[in-house]
Amino acid sequence: MDKEETKMKRKYLMTPGPSPVPSFAREALSREIIHHRTPEFRQILNEVNEGLKCVFCTKNPVLIFASSGTGAMQAAVNNFFSLGDKVVAVCGGKFGERWRDIAKSFGLDVVEMEVEWGAAPAIEDLRKILDANKDVKGVFTTLCETSTATVYDIEAIGRVTKEKNLLLIVDAISGLGQDKLFPDEWAVDVVVCGSQKGFMLPPGLSFLSLSRKAQDFMKNSNLPKYYFDLNKALKSYEKEDTPYTPAVSLIVGLREVMSEISKEGIEKRWERFKMMANAAGEAARALGLEIFSKRPSASLTAIISPPGIKSSDIVKTLRKEYGVSIAAGQDSIKDKIFRIAHMGWINEQDLIMCFSLLEKVLKDLGYKFKIGASISRLQEVFYG
Amino acid sequence: MDKEETKMKRKYLMTPGPSPVPSFAREALSREIIHHRTPEFRQILNEVNEGLKCVFCTKNPVLIFASSGTGAMQAAVNNFFSLGDKVVAVCGGKFGERWRDIAKSFGLDVVEMEVEWGAAPAIEDLRKILDANKDVKGVFTTLCETSTATVYDIEAIGRVTKEKNLLLIVDAISGLGQDKLFPDEWAVDVVVCGSQKGFMLPPGLSFLSLSRKAQDFMKNSNLPKYYFDLNKALKSYEKEDTPYTPAVSLIVGLREVMSEISKEGIEKRWERFKMMANAAGEAARALGLEIFSKRPSASLTAIISPPGIKSSDIVKTLRKEYGVSIAAGQDSIKDKIFRIAHMGWINEQDLIMCFSLLEKVLKDLGYKFKIGASISRLQEVFYG
């Protein structure tokens, strides 16, 4: 019998989305369905709307869509600009490139700011691009570029875009909840997120916050829209409703996870995940490995595979032999790095479990290091 | 203590979406989340893709999106046509009007075929419109117009559109699974559906089937698209994948419901729901009431409220006093009709429960009729 087939083989999800869904959220997903145009659901929606403001650290409305995160990214493209408008897309990984591609699909004039994969954008380079392109109306960038495990300095980017009165739109899909973000203080106009990472839910919901400035931009956009029409969504939001049938069960689950996030406190969570990221980096170095990112995110860690070992082989073996799912690289760095998530429900003990099996796999693949080195390092960082 | 607050008060969902989610599906929704790019999920996706073809009664691919049904409706507008293309939207209710509105949002030249609410489109009228507009490229219509509880003669419409080589696009969101539909035999190119009605799941998934002709139309469309780009979605489908993170938990639930639908058999289900619709009509007449639709759907029944009684009062009292949710009318017929769903998981016994309380509410609101008349009629139809 194939090992995969028995349920006795435990599985561990350490991928940067979907990330594990805790049992208290899964219980909520399995409750009897309720109608969305009832006082009962309105009450849930109200709580969720308030909770989202806390988790997003914003006073702005946060809209909810039934879609993956990419749906909300599209909404952030075709609601604020018009055909031919010039925008900058910061491209230092797969998700920055997604901004570029969506913006091009909708006929925007996209200035691509190329950033070396693994690096964060240099603020002086962004300033140069904006000085050379006085007609730019907005900047699209990323909080945590998941493909390289890099966190961008949104605060610094926000200073530049605010000074030039541009719309700043940030994909925080994998970063939100782990990587520090103060949208209002940092002049971020639009923050996009999804349900399956820091929010600890299955995929299927996306979120989008709207500053006052973003709401003004919305009024002048002439790009075609319907399902992701933010004017319509905002109007429904103000009436404590949704324009189309919402993904009721996921929203019921959302209430549960947000209540638990609030209990821990968002800033405490930021600290905890930053500590986990530091620990993962230290653990990698204890094995003689290097981390890929020059500005590591608190949400996941990308480790460069040892010479002669393809990262996809590490990933495959971990999953097949030990039930542990991590992620390889994407596109040109597919076989160069492997990525371990520490987001949402993933905790310190999961990292210890993951590195203990990573050591086993590295050893079996012929890499030389001192067994237990990463675990001792994690223990030191976590438990002092 | 408010009656609403105790969990001892049972609730009954008889609305035309969301409709009740059976416990075997809810259990599936609460399982541990799995990653979507794994052999395990690919296996589920394969089963689901095959199952969808059965439920849709088509040999064509059926794509899955994370969105409400309206998302797939939008996909059916901006993937087949180009700016200024002329299309017909059959408007005999709220959901026909949605086709018109989406098509206008994307800059199509929409010829509105007005149909009296409660009636089905007359085929000779459609033919006249098409004869007068030789440049029409496609027709948007509805299997079950939920706002009026009317089923359209898609087979007859398909004969006309096929003869004229037009694309025929059908919103089957509330009808699929109850109202008979043979897309391939009837020359329907695109069928759109959602998860929260006949499919017995929470809202959050939408479906769209694509004929060969639809796939040809897709190649020439110049309207902007990204999240709902069907070319990209079809390419992923062919590789047993999805372009963006799918709503994993709902798809796991989908496998469970489709397996049960297959066991009963789709044609058997059509018969059973048609019988339930007939029974609901008979029951209404036994109370001296009339049904609203001239061509009643098998998915829900719209009953005209007695003179002097607002249908919204019936709906409100049923929900508040007895926990039974049905739907009032929409827009101009808001207070004229009330609508009882018989779709998905709703069965004969639910109708008996619903009518027994409907009688109680009608009596309390001062309407005169013979108590028990509707129940006896339902019993006769159901149990002979």
Q: Cβ(B309)–Cβ(B366) under 8 Å?
A: yes
Interchain CB distance below 8 Å, A18 and B36: yes
Q: Is A134 buried (19+), middle (13-18) or exposed (0-12) by CB count in 10 A?
A: exposed
Q: Indicate the residue of B34, B39, B68 with minimum beta-carbon distance to A244.
A: B68
pLDDT band at A136 (very low <50, low <70, confident <90, very high): very high
pLDDT band at B5 (very low <50, low <70, confident <90, very high): low
Please provide the CATH number assigned to the domain covering B8-19+265-383.
Answer: 3.90.1150.10
Please measure the distance between the N-terminal and C-terminal CA atoms of chain B and give it in whole angstroms: 44
Classify A201 in phi/psi space as left (phi over 0), alpha (psi -120 to 50) or beta: beta
- Per residue in B179-194, pLDDT (tens digit) is 999 999 999 999 999 9
Question: DSSP assignment, residue A333?
Answer: G
Alpha-carbon distance of B35 to A20, in angstroms, equals 9
Alpha-carbon distance of B381 to B379, in angstroms, equals 5
- Distance from the Cα of A101 to chain B's closest Cα (Å) equals 9
Distance of CA B270 to the CA centre of its chain: 13
- Distance from the Cα of B117 to chain A's closest Cα (Å) equals 22
Q: Indicate the residue of A31, A223, A227 with minimum beta-carbon distance to B224.
A: A223
Interchain CB distance below 8 Å, A30 and B29: yes
Mean pLDDT of chain B: 96
DSSP string, B293-318: -SSB-SSEEEEEPPTT--HHHHHHHH
Interchain CB distance below 8 Å, A26 and B32: yes
Residue A115: the pLDDT is: 98
The pair of three-digit structure tokens given for residue B304, joined into one six-digit string: 């005209």
Q: Indicate the residue of B20, B33, B40 with minimum beta-carbon distance to A21.
A: B33
pLDDT band at B367 (very low <50, low <70, confident <90, very high): very high
Average pLDDT over residues A362-377: 98
Question: DSSP assignment, residue B291?
Answer: B
Q: Is A332 buried (19+), middle (13-18) or exposed (0-12) by CB count in 10 A?
A: exposed
Residue B4: the pLDDT is: 54
Residue of chain B whose Cα is closest to the Cα of A11: B34
Mutate to test the interface with A, among B193, B205, B226 (most CBs of A within 10 A): B226
- Per residue in A160-203, pLDDT (tens digit) is 999 999 999 999 999 999 999 999 999 999 999 999 999 999 99
Q: Which of A336, A289, A291, A279 is nearest to A310 (CA)?
A: A336
Q: Which of A214, A187, A374, A179 is nearest to A286 (CA)?
A: A374
Interchain CB distance below 8 Å, A18 and B33: yes
Class of the CATH domain delimited by A23-263: alpha beta
The pair of three-digit structure tokens given for residue A203, joined into one six-digit string: 């995929």
Q: Is the pLDDT of residue A361 over 80?
A: yes
Interchain CB distance below 8 Å, B69 and A244: yes
Interchain CB distance below 8 Å, B204 and A101: no
pLDDT band at B328 (very low <50, low <70, confident <90, very high): very high
Alpha-carbon distance of A370 to A361, in angstroms, equals 13
Contacts of B202 in chain A (CB under 8 A): 33, 247-250
Interchain CB distance below 8 Å, B249 and A29: yes
Burial B258-270 (b: 16+ CB within 10 A, else e): beebeeeebeebb
Burial A25-61 (b: 16+ CB within 10 A, else e): bbebbbbebbbbebeebeebbeebeebbeebbbbebb
Q: Is the pLDDT of residue A367 over 80?
A: yes
More reliable by pLDDT, A7 or B256:
B256
Residue of chain A whose Cα is closest to the Cα of B95: A244
- Distance from the Cα of A128 to chain B's closest Cα (Å) equals 30
Contacts of A13 in chain B (CB under 8 A): 32-35
Q: Cβ(A334)–Cβ(A317) under 8 Å?
A: no
- Per residue in B71-90, pLDDT (tens digit) is 999 999 999 999 999 999 99
| CB under 8 A, 24+ apart: contacts of A102-105 | A102/A70, A102/A73, A102/A74, A102/A77, A102/B226, A103/A77, A103/A140, A105/A77, A105/B224, A105/B225, A105/B226, A105/B229
Alpha-carbon distance of B220 to B232, in angstroms, equals 14
CA angle A116, A118, A123 (to 5 degrees): 60
Q: Indicate the residue of B73, B227, B248 with minimum beta-carbon distance to A74.
A: B227
Classify A102 in phi/psi space as left (phi over 0), alpha (psi -120 to 50) or beta: alpha
Interchain CB distance below 8 Å, A226 and B4: no
For tokens 């979406």, the residue is B17
Residue of chain A whose Cα is closest to the Cα of B316: A38
Q: Indicate the residue of A68, A107, A319 with minimum beta-carbon distance to B244.
A: A68
Mutate to test the interface with A, among B197, B227, B316, B350 (most CBs of A within 10 A): B227
Q: Is the pLDDT of residue A1 over 50?
A: no
Q: Is the pLDDT of residue A2 over 60?
A: no
Q: Cβ(B181)–Cβ(B191) under 8 Å?
A: yes
Average pLDDT over residues A229-256: 97
Q: Cβ(A270)–Cβ(A360) under 8 Å?
A: no
What lies within 8 Å, CB to CB, of B268 at 6+ separation is: none
Average pLDDT over residues A148-155: 98
Residue B8: the pLDDT is: 84
Residue of chain B whose Cα is closest to the Cα of A224: B106
The pair of three-digit structure tokens given for residue A196, joined into one six-digit string: 């399956």
Interchain CB distance below 8 Å, A71 and B69: no
- Distance from the Cα of B16 to chain A's closest Cα (Å) equals 10
pLDDT band at A327 (very low <50, low <70, confident <90, very high): very high
Residue B1: the pLDDT is: 40
Among the ranges given (A31-40, A106-115, B347-356), the one the predictor scored with the smallest mean pLDDT: A31-40
pLDDT band at A5 (very low <50, low <70, confident <90, very high): low
Q: Indicate the residue of B67, B68, B202 with minimum beta-carbon distance to A249.
A: B202
Average pLDDT over residues B217-231: 97
Contacts of B101 in chain A (CB under 8 A): 226
Report pTM: 0.96
Residue A114: the pLDDT is: 98
Mean pLDDT of chain A: 96
Interchain CB distance below 8 Å, B18 and A27: no
Q: Are β-strands B337-341 and A167-171 bridged in parallel, bridged antiparallel, or unpaired? A: unpaired
Strand partners, B209: B62, B191
pLDDT band at A274 (very low <50, low <70, confident <90, very high): very high
Mutate to test the interface with B, among A4, A10, A146, A227 (most CBs of B within 10 A): A227
Amino acid at B131: D
Interchain CB distance below 8 Å, A224 and B71: no
- One fold for both B8-19+265-383 and B23-263? no
Q: Cβ(B214)–Cβ(B167) under 8 Å?
A: yes
Going from the C-alpha of B37 to that of each of A149, A302, A310, B260, the distances in angstroms are: 19, 19, 19, 26
Residue A46: the pLDDT is: 96
Residue of chain A whose Cα is closest to the Cα of B35: A18
pLDDT band at A6 (very low <50, low <70, confident <90, very high): confident
User: What fold does the segment set A9-19+266-383 form as a domain?
Assistant: Aspartate Aminotransferase, domain 1 (3.90.1150)
Q: Which of A263, A236, A260 is nearest to A42 (CA)?
A: A236
Q: Which helix (H) or strand (E) holds B205?
A: strand B205-210
- Per residue in B329-359, pLDDT (tens digit) is 999 999 999 999 999 999 999 999 999 999 9
Contacts of B204 in chain A (CB under 8 A): 66, 204, 247-250
Residue A324: the pLDDT is: 96
DSSP string, B220-232: H--S--STT-HHH
- Per residue in A278-293, pLDDT (tens digit) is 999 999 999 999 999 9
Chains A, B: CB pairs < 8 Å: 183
Q: Cβ(B143)–Cβ(B121) under 8 Å?
A: no
- Residue B136, SS3 per DSSP: strand
Interchain CB distance below 8 Å, B101 and A228: no
Contacts of B247 in chain A (CB under 8 A): 68, 202-204, 247, 250
Sorted by where each begins, the domain ranges of chain A are: 9-19+266-383, 23-263
Residue A208: the pLDDT is: 98
